Chain A
Amino acid sequence: MNTPILDVQNLTAGYGAKKVIQDVDFRVEQGRIAGIIGPNGAGKTTLFRVITRLIKPMAGEVRYCGKDTARMAARELARAVAVLPQTLALGFDFTVADFVRMGRLPHIGRWQSLQEKDMEIAEEMMRNTEVNGLSNRGITELSGGELQRVLLAQALAQEPELLLLDEPTSHLDIGHQVEIMDLVRKLNKEKNLTTIMVLHDLNLAGLYCDELILLSEGRIFAKGTPAEVLTYQNIEAVYKTVVVVKENPITKSPHILLVPKDKWNR
């Protein structure tokens, strides 16, 4: 059997003595797009932060290609796993080109300078995400959609095996949401880049993910394909609201329709 690219084993984690997630256990095979979904406070962000090693697990482990990530050096991890955070300090106005080149950081030593090859990789990733026209713009001047694509270019310049995204569409309108998600799927197909993302929007999750992990109160409530996970029974139980699940007539993926509380009786 293949070693999964990410293997999360009986993970328990939280802050201080408080356990936010408990016994979370799942694996993601190479080349898949997996989504982590769940209501506010279900532990999505905590799970994401343990996977990206920003916090330590209390129990269990996160294995990347069979290796315990807790034992990997930050640089080693950064060469394999790229992360798109939800927030970023934008104190200094780097140009887009310089910003994307920073993705090469885990590959170059302190005494080395950027080589021709590093420049080419950064260029290529900017073309991939269609931000090459923005090269000389400052990152503080970009729109939300542009910034996401530039961040994606930087992450790709790390030449990762695994891409982790924290709510990549949270500040975007529907047009830009589809643009970013299409781009993520294109990169997944072209580069066989395994992708795991935290998503708030269940319909986007259903449209773009191969598999979903539904969290509720710190535990996995359901996992499987979108059709298996996004059932009205699961969603009503976890989100405590009434929904109707229909099939998207074009993509055949599940689509969730909301129902206001005063219409619940009908």
Chain B
Amino acid sequence: MRKIIFLILFVLLIISAFIALRFGSVGIEWREFWHSFTHPSEQGTAHSIIWLTRFPRVLAAVLVGAGLAAAGCALQGLLRNPLAEPYTLGISGGAALGAAVVTVFMPIHLGAWTTPVSAFFGAMVSVTLVYLIAGRRRFSVTGLILAGVILSFIFSSAVLLILTLASPLETNSILFWLIGSLSGDKVSIIKAIPFFIIPGIAILYLFGRDLDAIALGDEKAFHLGVEAIRVRQILFVVTSMVAGACIAAAGMVGFVGLIIPHAMRMMIGPGHKPLIIASSLAGAAFLVLADTVARTVLSRHGQELPVGVVTGIIGGMFFIILLLKQREKMSF
């Protein structure tokens, strides 16, 4: 049963990737589309759009979608909180502040790397602070959540302060990033983020059974041989690296890390090992499709939507339908 669902999700991901490569602001005929697959070494307009523009972006969407969904899934288990998502523990505020500071005050110039590096750096600063504060409270669930939420709040306020000082152009660029967007040149970033996201997901998978035990409470977990505090320390760092890499690549794409693990839990149950695989596949497919919508909806006007808007609207509606179908029996 689970294997069939994995297979379906995998096929869905492949189909989504084809759709994403085929459709966009520039129309490509099916004939040209297949030609660029069967003759990958030939040059041409269609070829360069598909392989140099769309492919890196699709790959970024796959990695970010998988990373956010897997990290969200792990954090929901780790904090025993169905409303946890990759940004719950303060990472988003730090990343936003890092990106905003660099956009407005420009202390560093790294070309295409400027925003990703500064966001990642900001994220790691906030993660370190949350780690230190939560450590004082023995990495309890409430300690982590409180530290995360409060730091997010402080950092977000600082971002708002910077926004009031910024020029309209800078404000626009920061806002686009805050909402989450996969636009821009992704060629360089996709050479870096796999090194964070892929091993990260693998580690989360290996800790799947520990997460199952922790879901029963720290004490029961201990009686099953799992030291919850240690696991939380390790996985907090791992999820932060994954989420940090995702934010660096795409800004703060919301909802993927929240709803995908939920939807998958309703389908295959709460066991974390299968759940992390299913969430990664579904998150990847979902973000690839959402980004295709974001690119194409306003393409006639020469504009594109930030993908965060699309994930928010589609994801939110999808989630409400799930909740209504579930009626009283909740899976958390």
Binding site for B on A (CB under 8 A): 52-54, 73-79, 81-83, 85, 87-95, 98, 102-103, 105-106, 108, 110-111, 158
Contact of A105 (CB < 8 Å), options: B209, B215, B227, B269? B209
Q: Does B224 contact A (CB under 8 A)?
A: yes
Contact residues, B187-206 vs A (CB, 8 A)? 206
The distance in angstroms between the C-alpha atoms of A78 and B223, with both chains bound, is 6
Contact of B80 (CB < 8 Å), options: A91, A93, A94? A91
Additional 13 contacts, C-beta under 8 A, given A54-B219, A85-B219, A102-B209: A76-B225, A78-B223, A83-B223, A90-B216, A93-B269, A93-B270, A93-B331, A94-B212, A94-B271, A105-B209, A105-B212, A105-B225, A158-B224
The distance in angstroms between the C-alpha atoms of A94 and B226, with both chains bound, is 18
Select from chain B the residue with minimum beta-carbon distance to A112: B209
Contact residues, B35-56 vs A (CB, 8 A)? none
The distance in angstroms between the C-alpha atoms of A247 and B77, with both chains bound, is 51
Assuming A54-B219, A88-B217, is B224 touching A102 (CB within 8 A)? yes
The answer to whether B222 touches A91, judged by C-beta atoms less than 8 angstroms apart, is: no
The distance in angstroms between the C-alpha atoms of A78 and B217, with both chains bound, is 15
CB distance from A239 to the nearest CB of B (A): 29
16 A-B residue pairs with Cβ-Cβ distance under 8 Å, sorted by A, are A53-B222, A54-B222, A78-B225, A81-B223, A83-B223, A88-B217, A89-B217, A90-B216, A91-B81, A92-B215, A92-B270, A93-B270, A102-B212, A102-B216, A103-B224, A105-B209
The distance in angstroms between the C-alpha atoms of A92 and B215, with both chains bound, is 7
The distance in angstroms between the C-alpha atoms of A248 and B331, with both chains bound, is 47
The answer to whether B213 touches A102, judged by C-beta atoms less than 8 angstroms apart, is: yes
The answer to whether A92 touches B331, judged by C-beta atoms less than 8 angstroms apart, is: yes
Which A residues are CB-close (under 8 A) to B82?
91
Select from chain B the residue with minimum beta-carbon distance to A87: B217
Contact of B206 (CB < 8 Å), options: A52, A85, A94, A110? A110
Which B residues are CB-close (under 8 A) to A88?
216-217, 220
CB distance from A207 to the nearest CB of B (A): 26
User: Would you call the interface of chain B mostly helix, strand, loop, or mixed?
Assistant: loop
Identify the interface centre among B213, B220, B269, B330: most chain A CB within 10 Å of its CB.
B220
The answer to whether B269 touches A95, judged by C-beta atoms less than 8 angstroms apart, is: yes
Select from chain B the residue with minimum beta-carbon distance to A79: B225
The answer to whether B223 touches A93, judged by C-beta atoms less than 8 angstroms apart, is: no
Q: Does B332 contact A (CB under 8 A)?
A: yes
Which B residues are CB-close (under 8 A) to A54?
219, 222
The distance in angstroms between the C-alpha atoms of A74 and B220, with both chains bound, is 12
Which 8 pairs from chain A and chain B are nearest by CB?
Answer: A78-B225, A106-B225, A89-B217, A75-B225, A92-B270, A83-B223, A105-B224, A92-B215
The distance in angstroms between the C-alpha atoms of A95 and B269, with both chains bound, is 8
The answer to whether B215 touches A98, judged by C-beta atoms less than 8 angstroms apart, is: no
Select from chain B the residue with minimum beta-carbon distance to A53: B222
Select from chain A the residue with minimum beta-carbon distance to B271: A98
Select from chain A the residue with minimum beta-carbon distance to B275: A92
The answer to whether B269 touches A74, judged by C-beta atoms less than 8 angstroms apart, is: no
The answer to whether A94 touches B225, judged by C-beta atoms less than 8 angstroms apart, is: no
The distance in angstroms between the C-alpha atoms of A77 and B225, with both chains bound, is 7
Contact residues, B235-274 vs A (CB, 8 A)? 265, 269-271
Which B residues are CB-close (under 8 A) to A83?
220, 223
The distance in angstroms between the C-alpha atoms of A88 and B330, with both chains bound, is 18
The distance in angstroms between the C-alpha atoms of A228 and B118, with both chains bound, is 73
The answer to whether A91 touches B225, judged by C-beta atoms less than 8 angstroms apart, is: no
Which B residues are CB-close (under 8 A) to A95?
269
The answer to whether B223 touches A89, judged by C-beta atoms less than 8 angstroms apart, is: no
The distance in angstroms between the C-alpha atoms of A73 and B230, with both chains bound, is 13
The distance in angstroms between the C-alpha atoms of A53 and B223, with both chains bound, is 9
Select from chain B the residue with minimum beta-carbon distance to A113: B273
Which A residues are CB-close (under 8 A) to B225?
73-79, 105-106
CB distance from A27 to the nearest CB of B (A): 22
Select from chain A the residue with minimum beta-carbon distance to B265: A92
CB distance from A20 to the nearest CB of B (A): 18
Which B residues are CB-close (under 8 A) to A98?
212, 269, 271
Contact of B270 (CB < 8 Å), options: A52, A81, A94, A105? A94
Which B residues are CB-close (under 8 A) to A90?
216
Which B residues are CB-close (under 8 A) to A158?
224
CB distance from B323 to the nearest CB of A (A): 15
Assuming A98-B269, A105-B209, is B226 touching A91 (CB within 8 A)? no
CB distance from A74 to the nearest CB of B (A): 5
The answer to whether A74 touches B227, judged by C-beta atoms less than 8 angstroms apart, is: yes
Contact of B332 (CB < 8 Å), options: A81, A82, A93, A111? A93
The distance in angstroms between the C-alpha atoms of A45 and B282, with both chains bound, is 45
CB distance from B125 to the nearest CB of A (A): 31
Identify the interface centre among A54, A85, A98, A102: most chain B CB within 10 Å of its CB.
A102
Which B residues are CB-close (under 8 A) to A110?
206-207, 209
Assuming A94-B270, A105-B209, is B220 touching A89 (CB within 8 A)? yes
The distance in angstroms between the C-alpha atoms of A251 and B331, with both chains bound, is 46
Select from chain A the residue with minimum beta-carbon distance to B77: A92
The distance in angstroms between the C-alpha atoms of A238 and B215, with both chains bound, is 39
Which B residues are CB-close (under 8 A) to A73?
225
Identify the interface centre among B80, B222, B330, B331: most chain A CB within 10 Å of its CB.
B222
The answer to whether B213 touches A105, judged by C-beta atoms less than 8 angstroms apart, is: yes
Which B residues are CB-close (under 8 A) to A53?
222
Which A residues are CB-close (under 8 A) to B81?
91
CB distance from A64 to the nearest CB of B (A): 14
